[in-house]
């Protein structure tokens, strides 16, 4: 099938120009002027619209078990929500359950493949490390997994000792993996949580008080030092504190191969949200910080210290004792009410995969913080380059997958649950006035979102094997 998108203004990470796009067999076949003269099956008018590459969200958690429940979006509903927000590729995390990494990956593929509605990849968590695991890591490349996530928090569950993180990064350097770091100080968190519980401080704001920003800053500094000593690239996930950005800037100024990601929640919300009666909606790890942190993160994006805006999408119902209707089926999943008497039992996570592009456009491009080119860079092109997806994904050019978003920069709407398609009972941005929104979304040339109409299907998404030695930006 041949399709032409005509009359739109293409926005890339570096350019802006008016041209037509010829799509053939799921790929971009040609870009030029007056291509509508070519004999095709369909012509789509994009006059007065922008044409963007489909978003790439490299930080998502679907169907993730946590705190005696599971994140409420699976690999279908979460992918659908992503698509409605203009994202066409996501990367999820495979939890490590033991010494057999392939078994964990096969298990994650088994539950994702029948449901996937957009294209996707996996990162591998490394939360258990020994010689057996070390010997298996190089083989992940043949499985298309080229990134490893390590933690300096979650003692006794996910955290690795510094020595093991160092060893993982040495392997990563040799074989071309990218190491991803969750940066907090697990020892300090354990002490502060125990003190809060003993004192009876159990309300949601204590989630933030027991995970101080200085612990995150110190962990980022440690991670950067590991990168310097191993000469391995490092990607710091969900940056949330001003000091983290300062340390990242310092490392980059020294020429180190260190990069950073933040998420929309850390640009807009603070610990003040946790004081609300519905404060548990904003519980995630790391927690919300201060307005000063918000502003430093924005500056980090604007000046290029931070390369990627992801989401850390990991939604839970606010009140899982009540059902919601999703695709005409009643769904009820235990959620944040599990911790209504104790913040340590509130599932840590937020919805966001579908919100990322619309919110960042209005608040970033619309308010003059970033240019449309920077918007494309941090939401699509940079993550594709860093994680070995480029030029298949993240760019509009001949030979790339026809993952395309037709964006109406003038579309105004009052955002919230009505528009977002997450399978949960709330939206963090309820009532926000937006200007600029996707009106058509294409996955490999097929229109899967047309206005409010869903035209995608479970199982239509493809697992993308990624290349090692991704770019350091």
CATH code assigned at 18: 2.30.40.10
* Sequence-distant (≥ 6) Cβ neighbours of residue 59 within 8 angstroms: 91, 237, 238, 261, 263, 310, 311, 312, 313
Shared domain for 185 and 228, answered yes or no, is yes
pLDDT tens profile 294-314: 999 999 999 999 999 999 999
Residues 110 and 247 placed together within one structural domain of the fold: yes
DSSP 399: T
CA dist 438 → 118, 127, 268 (Å): 16, 38, 22
159 token code pair: 């955290």
Are 83 and 30 members of one domain?
no
Does residue 83 share a domain with residue 170? yes
* 259 SS3 class: strand
Do 211 and 328 belong to one domain?
A: yes
Residue 463, in any domain of the structure: no
Confidence of residue 407 (pLDDT cuts 50, 70, 90): very high
pTM of the predicted model over 0.75: yes
% the chain with pLDDT above 90: 99
Among 87, 83, 9, 1, which residue's Cα sits nearest to residue 46?
A: 9
Assess whether 9 and 66 both reside in one domain: no
Spatial separation of the C-alpha atoms in residues 155 and 162, rounded to whole Å: 12
Shared-domain flag, residues 363 and 444: no
Mean of per-residue pLDDT scores for the chain: 98
Is residue 225, in this structure, part of any structural domain at all?
yes
Tell me: the pLDDT tens digits for 42-71?
999 999 999 999 999 999 999 999 999 999
C-beta separation of 143 from 106 below 8 A? no
Report yes or no on 465 lying in a domain: no
Look at residue 201 and tell me if it is in a domain.
yes
| Domain harbouring 69, CATH code | 3.20.20.140
Whether 61 maps to a domain, the answer reads yes
Domains identified in the chain, total number: 2
Which of the four pLDDT bands, split at 50, 70 and 90, describes residue 327? very high
Judge whether 460 lies within some domain. Answer: no
State pLDDT tens for residues 162-179: 999 999 999 999 999 999
Within a domain: 305: yes
Q: Are residues 349 and 248 in the same domain?
A: yes
Whether residue 301 contacts residue 292, with contact meaning beta carbons closer than 8 Å, is answered with no
Q: What is the pLDDT of residue 37?
A: 85
> 334, 355, 386: which is the final residue of a domain?
386
Mark which of 329, 363, 386 sits at the end of a domain: 386
Q: Are 242 and 334 part of one and the same domain?
A: yes
In a domain, 473, yes or no: no
Q: How far is CA 185 from the centre of its chain?
A: 22
Helices vs strands, H then E, count in the chain:
13, 23
Residue numbers of the domain that contains 443: 2-52+396-454
Verify that 149 and 41 share a domain, yes or no: no
120 and 20 in a common domain: no
Same structural domain, 271 and 344: yes
């Amino acid at each position: 099938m041949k399709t032409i998108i005509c009359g739109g203004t293409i926005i890339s990470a570096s350019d802006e120009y008016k041209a037509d796009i010829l799509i053939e067999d799921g790929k971009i076949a040609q870009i030029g002027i007056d291509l509508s003269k070519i004999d095709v099956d369909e012509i789509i008018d994009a006059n007065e619209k922008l044409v963007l590459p489909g978003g790439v969200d490299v930080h998502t958690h679907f169907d993730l078990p946590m705190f005696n429940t599971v994140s409420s979006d699976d690999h279908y509903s979460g992918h659908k929500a992503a698509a409605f927000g203009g994202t066409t590729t996501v990367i999820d995390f495979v939890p490590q359950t033991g010494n057999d990494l392939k078994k964990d990956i096969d298990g994650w593929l088994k539950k994702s493949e029948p449901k996937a509605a957009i294209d996707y990849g996996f990162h591998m968590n490394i939360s258990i490390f020994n010689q057996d695991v070390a010997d298996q890591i190089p083989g992940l490349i043949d499985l298309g997994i080229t990134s490893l996530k390590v933690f300096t928090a979650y003692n006794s569950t996910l955290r690795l000792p510094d020595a093991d993180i160092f060893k993982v990064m040495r392997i990563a350097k040799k074989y071309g993996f990218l190491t991803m770091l969750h940066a907090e100080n697990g020892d300090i968190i354990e002490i502060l949580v125990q003190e809060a519980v003993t004192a009876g401080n159990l309300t949601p704001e204590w989630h933030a008080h027991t995970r101080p920003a200085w612990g995150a800053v110190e962990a980022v500094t440690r991670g950067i030092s590991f990168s310097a000593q191993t000469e391995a690239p490092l990607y710091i996930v969900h940056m949330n504190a001003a000091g983290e950005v300062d340390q990242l800037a310092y490392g980059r100024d020294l020429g180190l191969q260190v990069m950073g990601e933040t998420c929309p929640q850390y640009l807009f919300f603070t610990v003040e949200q946790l004081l609300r009666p519905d404060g548990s909606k904003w519980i995630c790890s790391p927690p919300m910080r201060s307005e000063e942190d918000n502003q430093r993160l924005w500056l980090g994006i604007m000046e290029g210290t931070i390369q990627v805006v992801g989401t850390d999408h990991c939604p839970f119902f606010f009140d899982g004792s009540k059902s919601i209707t999703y695709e005409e089926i009643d769904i009820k999943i235990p959620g944040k009410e599990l911790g209504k008497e104790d913040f340590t039992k509130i599932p840590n996570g937020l919805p966001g995969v579908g919100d990322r592009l619309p919110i960042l456009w209005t608040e970033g491009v619309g308010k003059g913080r970033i240019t449309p080119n920077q918007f494309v860079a941090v939401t699509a092109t940079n993550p594709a380059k860093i994680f070995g997806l480029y030029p298949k994904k993240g760019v509009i050019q001949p030979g790339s997958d026809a993952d395309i978003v037709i964006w109406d920069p003038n579309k105004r709407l009052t955002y919230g649950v009505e528009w977002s398609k997450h399978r949960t009972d709330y939206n963090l941005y309820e009532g926000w006035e937006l200007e600029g929104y996707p009106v058509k979304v294409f996955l490999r040339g097929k229109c899967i979102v047309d206005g409010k109409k869903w035209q995608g299907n479970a199982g239509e998404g493809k697992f993308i094997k990624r290349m090692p030695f991704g770019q350091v930006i």
